[in-house]
Amino acid sequence: MAFTTINVERVEDGIVLVTLTREKEMNTLSLEFVEEFGQVLQGTSRDPAARVLILTGKGRAFCCGAELKYYTTARETIGPDPIAARNNYLRRVVRLFTEIETFDKPVIAAINGYALGGGAELALACDFRIMSESAKFGVPEIRLGAIPGAGGVQKLHRFVGRGRALELVMLGSHLTAEETDRYGLLYKRVPPERLMGEALELARRLAKMSPVALAYAKAAINLAMDVDITSANLYALDAMAVLASSEDQREGMRAFIEKREPRFPGFPTTGVR
């Protein structure tokens, strides 16, 4: 399928690379991108051969956030008033970020350049963040009289605590990779020339894991952020029971006994996921 805002390629067995290609627009969050990336998530979820997704940007930016035209210009699908912008644009962006967070396969953000505003929130929706040392990260919406309302407020509070979240949101600073790493928001920071190599190495490690166990692990961690400990424990127990009946766990046990690398089959290609 041909896309207008992204490029999608299978770079290695099990690894899908999605590159934002609106270089002149600094890879801002157009409605076309929201629609197209949603299609990629749906297709990748249904593809048993696709086990890890890497997201990066072309040019100087990973993603520089929202397109302000959706707030100020009447268009065919967007009205000029704030309520229309909220309902027809922002809610669709938030829905996409939620789809990434709950996606049943690992998603790696390879932050090649500016990740600002909604771009930072897009990166925060991913499971892992690897950042080029020449990139910048931040939520500068406060400078426009706004807040990072597409998940940034909530995620930053959970990731870095109230004090740090207040600092990031209320000062709207652009952080270096070193600063972003110090805040605990990165898996790794690397020189620009090593960014994709490191992202691919992480993807290869994840692609060797059980897809079924990865999906349940991600779901269990997400749930634990929102519910009481008793409910989180019950979900984890149920997940362990489901995994115990999976072919992936049987293969893992066989491989352990036979002292070899497991070859996890993943989710069945038919039936209910």
Active-site position among 36, 67, 141, 198: 141
3-state secondary structure of 83: helix
Taking a C-beta distance cutoff of 8 angstroms, is the pair 4, 33 a contact?
no
Please give the structure tokens belonging to residue 250.
Answer: 């049987």
| Annotation says 198 is catalytic | no
Q: Whose structure tokens read 């897809």?
A: 211
3-state secondary structure of 106: coil
Q: Whose structure tokens read 């997201």?
A: 55
∠ at Cα 201 (197, 207), nearest 5°? 140
| Annotation says 141 is catalytic | yes
Rg of the chain (C-alpha set):
19
H or E segment to which residue 131 belongs: strand 128-132
Buried b (16+ CB within 10 A) or exposed e, 177-205: bebbbebebbbbbbeeeebbebbbebbee
DSSP annotation string for 152-199: HHHHHHHHHHHHHHHHHHHH---EEHHHHHHTT--SEEE-GGGHHHHH
Active-site position among 36, 121, 167, 198: 121
What's at 156, amino acid-wise?
L
Buried b (16+ CB within 10 A) or exposed e, 62-84: bbbbbbeebbeeeeeebeeeeeb
The residues that are catalytic are 121, 141
